[in-house]
Structure 1
């Protein structure tokens, strides 16, 4: 039997080499795409799976419901909660605080940045990550201790045996000396802090002085808890509301508390570590996150590619069945049973699929690095995973693509076949099946194409959408760590002296701001007690000329108006004074003003501080397009008596290239703060992380769309060639009766493309619902209009037409006499 199966498959390959090759190629592409995208999905689902006791580790998240702003969840939580958590919940085995930090190593005048975190000494007791050098029990117990990743050790020293080596780190202009006490092993799977290159203990000075350690309303990092049992997650979660009421409440004058009723605007929750990767897509300050629906869609795309390839095999096998009819008839005449023939044809299908799977695995080796590059993930071919899927793919695809053709071939009646002058056409059932499969194939392919086109348009839109300020010709630097007025003046003078600087300003917010401060203001002299939680910013001289905001109403700050000068830090803390402010459009709307003009000259207050709105500007989008723009209040600071709090310099330039300006600005910065990197960047580079994930996922879907169309077109081409052969006699008769080549071409194209048109009709509503759901995750988004569908459908139809045009032209131009003789 095995010999018969092999001989039958080889005979078919010799008789129809092109179509056998196309069938194997289609199956190989389908298997390749399925395996490659399956590896990517597996990678995304494996986050944190290799962390010891991952099921008992949770993150403590904060939930805020502040006046005038949308409620949100943050992965950053006040560290003031940690000692109280230890006291109130015996279910907690250990806790660790983690602060993302910007740490550099300076060598030969150049700064090298590392992905760094400041952590508690209990870090390894919570996460249990493996060290290839050093002991986890004491690696971070010393204040000067430092743990490097394998990659960082290689970058700095060229080897991993670096225990005891000294490293001088620079953070916010301050130098600290450290000793390498451990080298972190490369994690087997991606997970929390898998990007960490440097781990250092949290400085004692920070614990004693930073507000995030002292105040409930301030946060600078994440809290992870390791519990004794998995069931403790629900136990602690049920008690967190009472915990907040008991521990975070206090008098309104107590700056460390959240007032008498903290539960009205603040709450806590636990996020299990194993759920964090997908959960964080809606959390501010979370770890690297992925949208579960998008990841699942990528997996479904791979599965559909495999199904398209199987459908191709069914189509080709049923179309070729007519060519094997006499072979079946002779075999049955010689005594072959229907069961034996069924087994033979199923065996041939499985052999073809197995061959295609080997080719698909080879293609997977080539495609996986490409997908890893496109997705930005460290995806590799995991043969344990692949070998587990391989037999399932062979058996499943073999059965899916072979059962029906085997049934069709084995049921032929030898007497009817041998007595007929023509080969059987397969009947209406087979023709309908082939048309239905073409419809399904192209419906899937066109759906993926439409979704890919919409994703591409949305990605381009958010990248180039109006952000409320002029991005071209703008460079933004790092926050100046010094709060000294003299140093800030010196920096301002140094940067202004750079040739090509057209305008220069300081602000406490900028594109992708490192820190954000907020305060609640109420509308004065209003019948309604409107309160809005406003994002706080200070704007320096030439701010308007640098960022070029759109003034919607009122005026911008002018030094000739004394009240335009904003409050100093003491006035802000005590809530005293009268000042002029500018607010953004969102703030004006949240206060209830129907138009920007209606907000001008109105007074808002924070405790005793009164702020008169003199102008309304368009919203600045400094944050991710997934996040809504927050209401914002801007004070003016001329830098005459009040220093900025870690100001962010912004420079507008002309008559020079961006790269040249970066070099000159960095050099000018170094003349003032030589131990702090300037990192002047364009707005696009500074906000790259906001758009990179969507762009990468868009590339993956593009790859899936190309594969889907390729597989569908391979099947359509093969089917068209067989159909053209079957209709040669019909075309000869039509041409004999006077039909022109043009009429024949239109007839055949219409027959071939009719299922494709039906597929487009089916695909459109499916794609519309899917993309409407996806676009809802963006604060800025395109309008899902007909043009997106028509463009994608037109492209698919054009490709389908080009696929069958060659066969159509060949048949339409054939001579009638030769066509009739051939039959």
Structure 2
């Protein structure tokens, strides 16, 4: 019987080629989107789960509110891990990561290479994370100074073999430092929240270790089996009282953490499960670029709805063919076929069509995979579906979709009464087709929501691009690594500044974009620092030309000047700092700090000589926090203000000057606006992906609408004939047929607007600076949907209106 079902189903597919093609394309489009998004979601949810102890590894986070600054850090103080392991038996092991600037210059042959995926780590790293060795012994690999562990790809890059244990790598640290390779590990999986090529020994870090007040280390702990991490977090209060408070009281006039908190401050330590970091953490500094659970939810919902739209199409198109198959059902029933056999037949057709659609969907997904990877920032492959878990998914998918999509048509068509259909009276009535109309409303509601979402995302991105930031990000060329030139860095800056097309130059170790250098220091309004007068803020070391080169505006006071020797102990503050200090006229007043040696126990005074207009030095998701400038050495990079149409030639000239001073050092540069755009890469990808999904959803919705238009045209054929005989014009008939569809789109608009507004309002909440959602966005989305619907149904409406009434009334 099953074989007979498939034989008849295949014949029906071939017999109704147009119907089959439309239905298969609709289903295939929905399935292709679903497969791609499913791969994306599965990859996002898989992060860090390859670690054997993944369910017991936790990162120690730090939250500090002090002096108007709110810090949410992925780091903690360097002794935290050792303290927890020593004092609490629940802690099995710990490891720390540290890197002050996130990069190193490493020699390969006669030149240096700028490597960015580098870190220093404790020797316990391999007792915490699962990083298998290709060569060497990871248990002892980082026990000594001047040792390094590299991955297999790096070993091939530098030595041409993975058998690199015992070989050395030279860095430019302290003029020249040799690191011995003690182990080669497999490349860290892409679905890890960190991915390093070089892991250097922590013993080489020059740091003031043992300091509970400085949070610069990513610290991970492994809790023993059965330990509830939420219960364990309560121990941090004791750690703070026992270890943090004694050090803090040496620099702040506080007697207890309770008094510290009463003054409106906060110091909390929390644990974050390893498997939550990628999707749930947006702290600073992260070890890699994290995703967002919000986007996983959004894309999962969109994938589900796109697939649902494809299933709705199948229902509409199948019921649209009801008049054509009614007599077939009637004849079968007269011949004794039971209803369950008819249901089995129609479900078999549905599953077969879904299976054919799945094959086409896989081809579409494979074809679009490169484009999808560019949008999502992934490296997915269609061969990922060959994994055991995915194979089961692919086998069950056509069965599930076929039954869901074909269920309603099967029960609908098999329910026809033989006498009724054989008399040609199979008319369910357009006005009574509530389910089909509701499905079309769902389709276009989803499409309108996607259109609104795409428009809002692009408007927010445009707002970010055009908003006045308080500095000029355009035409700023940043040359990286100029600090490696040593004394020649100033020579390099001055020589380039003389070139045609260069209008300004400045040492620029600190830049107003994420992932640049940052330095938090504690200050006080008075010579006695306590929890009330203290404030924590960013402190950037700049030179005399920085503010001018960056296009920042001093709104009160003056810039640093070589004519004032006392400027070495002066500061320029931003508006946020001025508001926090509360001075009527901050210029001329003093603030106090422990200086560069923040924990030297001696307060230094700094004269406020100017106020710079607030500028956005982090993402627009955040408010502008307190910041001050001080004169100092920040020469790891140099910024040049350029004004030339021939940027390529200028960069070539700058590189030539670089090679004169340091032939072995790599020349690296970027434009500041590119670094600025990098901060919003996730939003840019979301906008492009949303646009693509909107187009697919609208295409599928149009196919569904086409199916319903076909159905309605079939049901109203004789009505159109009678109306034409009585004098109705083609134009009036087209309006009559189209009005029903436009009404459905209007209902969809009413349903979609509040949902779209709520979703976009929720998304925009992540931005401290954001657009408003004007009414015209929703009107534009609605008008677009109506035009698309009108164009879709016009063909069937015009076709029905132009039909010769003699043909439609011949049987009467």
Common fold: TM-score over 0.5 = yes
Residue matched to 2:57: 57
Alignment partners' CA distance in 2, 1:198 and 1:258: 43
Q: Structure 2 unaligned segments of length 5 or more: list them.
A: 261-265, 594-602
Matched, 1:288 2:289: yes
Alignment partners' CA distance in 1, 2:808 and 2:48: 66
**SS of aligned partner of 2:61:** strand
1:254-299: per-residue Cα shift (whole Å, max 9, x none)? 46x9965457342322212122212212554354322212111111
Quickly say closer, same or farther: Cα 1:230–1:487, change in 2 above 3 A. Answer: farther
Aligned with residue 620 of structure 1, among 615, 619, 624 = 615
Aligned with residue 684 of structure 2, among 683, 695, 699 = 695
How big is the alpha-carbon RMSD for the aligned residues of Structure 1 and Structure 2?
3.0
Residue matched to 2:244: 248
Is residue 50–residue 189 contact of structure 1 (8 Å, CA) maintained in 2? no
How does 1:715-734 map onto structure 2 within 5 Å? 715-734=704-723
Q: CA deviation at 1:483?
A: 12
Residue matched to 1:762: 751
**SS of aligned partner of 2:222:** strand
Is residue 111–residue 664 contact of structure 2 (8 Å, CA) maintained in 1? no
Quickly say closer, same or farther: Cα 1:553–1:523, change in 2 above 3 A. Answer: farther
Is residue 280–residue 286 contact of structure 1 (8 Å, CA) maintained in 2? no
Residue matched to 1:573: none
Quickly say closer, same or farther: Cα 1:428–1:740, change in 2 above 3 A. Answer: closer
Residue matched to 1:386: 390
Alignment partners' CA distance in 1, 2:481 and 2:255: 35
Q: CA deviation at 1:316?
A: 1.3
1:99-130: per-residue Cα shift (whole Å, max 9, x none)? 24302334454634241111112211111311
Is residue 587–residue 632 contact of structure 1 (8 Å, CA) maintained in 2? yes
Is residue 463–residue 771 contact of structure 2 (8 Å, CA) maintained in 1? yes
How does 1:560-575 map onto structure 2 within 5 Å? 560=563, 565-567=567-569
1:775-798: per-residue Cα shift (whole Å, max 9, x none)? 111122221222322333333333
Alignment partners' CA distance in 1, 2:550 and 2:705: 55
Quickly say closer, same or farther: Cα 1:342–1:249, change in 2 above 3 A. Answer: same
Alignment partners' CA distance in 2, 1:75 and 1:258: 27
Alignment partners' CA distance in 1, 2:107 and 2:790: 61
Quickly say closer, same or farther: Cα 1:317–1:768, change in 2 above 3 A. Answer: same
Matched, 1:201 2:201: yes
Alignment partners' CA distance in 1, 2:347 and 2:213: 68
**SS of aligned partner of 2:290:** coil
Residue matched to 1:309: 310
Matched, 1:210 2:207: yes
Quickly say closer, same or farther: Cα 1:5–1:521, change in 2 above 3 A. Answer: same
**SS of aligned partner of 2:176:** strand
Q: CA deviation at 1:734?
A: 2.6
Is residue 168–residue 180 contact of structure 2 (8 Å, CA) maintained in 1? yes
Alignment partners' CA distance in 1, 2:254 and 2:328: 88
**SS of aligned partner of 2:639:** strand
How does 1:388-407 map onto structure 2 within 5 Å? 388-407=392-411
Residue matched to 2:98: 99
Alignment partners' CA distance in 2, 1:772 and 1:646: 42
Moved more, 266-275 or 226-235: 226-235
Residue matched to 1:653: 642
Residue matched to 1:449: 451
Is residue 240–residue 268 contact of structure 1 (8 Å, CA) maintained in 2? yes
Residue matched to 1:501: 502
Quickly say closer, same or farther: Cα 1:602–1:723, change in 2 above 3 A. Answer: farther
**SS of aligned partner of 2:239:** helix
Aligned with residue 629 of structure 1, among 624, 629, 633 = 624
Alignment partners' CA distance in 1, 2:42 and 2:708: 35
Residue matched to 1:575: none
Q: CA deviation at 1:772?
A: 0.6
How does 1:143-542 map onto structure 2 within 5 Å? 143-170=145-172, 174-187=175-188, 190-193=191-194, 195-204=195-204, 206=205, 209-211=206-208, 213-231=209-227, 233-250=229-246, 254=250, 260-261=255-256, 264=260, 265-282=266-283, 284-285=285-286, 287-380=288-381, 381-383=384-386, 384-418=388-422, 420=423, 422-427=424-429, 431-478=433-480, 481=483, 489-507=490-508, 509-512=510-513, 513-522=516-525, 531-542=534-545
Quickly say closer, same or farther: Cα 1:317–1:87, change in 2 above 3 A. Answer: same
Is residue 556–residue 587 contact of structure 2 (8 Å, CA) maintained in 1? no
Quickly say closer, same or farther: Cα 1:280–1:675, change in 2 above 3 A. Answer: farther
Moved more, 771-780 or 287-296: 287-296
Quickly say closer, same or farther: Cα 1:376–1:534, change in 2 above 3 A. Answer: same
Q: CA deviation at 1:546?
A: 0.9
Alignment partners' CA distance in 1, 2:510 and 2:734: 64
Is residue 478–residue 677 contact of structure 1 (8 Å, CA) maintained in 2? no
Is residue 509–residue 517 contact of structure 2 (8 Å, CA) maintained in 1? no
1:746-778: per-residue Cα shift (whole Å, max 9, x none)? 222222222122112211111110111111111
> With structure 1 as the length reference, what TM-score do the two structures score?
0.88
Alignment partners' CA distance in 2, 1:715 and 1:543: 60
Matched, 1:603 2:589: yes
Residue matched to 1:742: 731
Quickly say closer, same or farther: Cα 1:272–1:796, change in 2 above 3 A. Answer: same
Q: CA deviation at 1:491?
A: 4.4
**SS of aligned partner of 2:622:** coil
Q: CA deviation at 1:725?
A: 3.3
Alignment partners' CA distance in 2, 1:796 and 1:210: 61
**SS of aligned partner of 1:94:** strand
**SS of aligned partner of 1:348:** helix
Q: Structure 1 unaligned segments of length 5 or more: list them.
A: 568-578, 638-642
Is residue 556–residue 612 contact of structure 2 (8 Å, CA) maintained in 1? yes
Is residue 483–residue 637 contact of structure 2 (8 Å, CA) maintained in 1? no
**SS of aligned partner of 2:473:** coil
Q: CA deviation at 1:376?
A: 1.1
Is residue 420–residue 426 contact of structure 2 (8 Å, CA) maintained in 1? no
Alignment partners' CA distance in 1, 2:766 and 2:368: 30
1:375-434: per-residue Cα shift (whole Å, max 9, x none)? 11232323223222234322322222222222222221112222x2x3412246862211
Matched, 1:792 2:781: yes
Q: CA deviation at 1:697?
A: 2.6
**SS of aligned partner of 1:164:** coil
Matched, 1:587 2:584: no
Quickly say closer, same or farther: Cα 1:371–1:150, change in 2 above 3 A. Answer: farther
Alignment partners' CA distance in 2, 1:253 and 1:222: 25
Alignment partners' CA distance in 2, 1:793 and 1:159: 61
Quickly say closer, same or farther: Cα 1:816–1:333, change in 2 above 3 A. Answer: closer
Is residue 547–residue 553 contact of structure 2 (8 Å, CA) maintained in 1? no
Alignment partners' CA distance in 2, 1:41 and 1:658: 41
Alignment partners' CA distance in 2, 1:191 and 1:319: 50
1:51-93: per-residue Cα shift (whole Å, max 9, x none)? 1111121111111111112x33211222133433332223322
Alignment partners' CA distance in 1, 2:429 and 2:249: 87
Q: CA deviation at 1:338?
A: 1.8
**SS of aligned partner of 2:368:** helix
Residue matched to 2:75: 76
Residue matched to 2:132: 130
Q: CA deviation at 1:600?
A: 5.0
Alignment partners' CA distance in 2, 1:252 and 1:237: 21
Quickly say closer, same or farther: Cα 1:751–1:28, change in 2 above 3 A. Answer: same
Aligned with residue 115 of structure 2, among 97, 109, 113 = 113
Moved more, 74-83 or 612-621: 612-621
Q: CA deviation at 1:695?
A: 1.5
Is residue 93–residue 127 contact of structure 2 (8 Å, CA) maintained in 1? yes
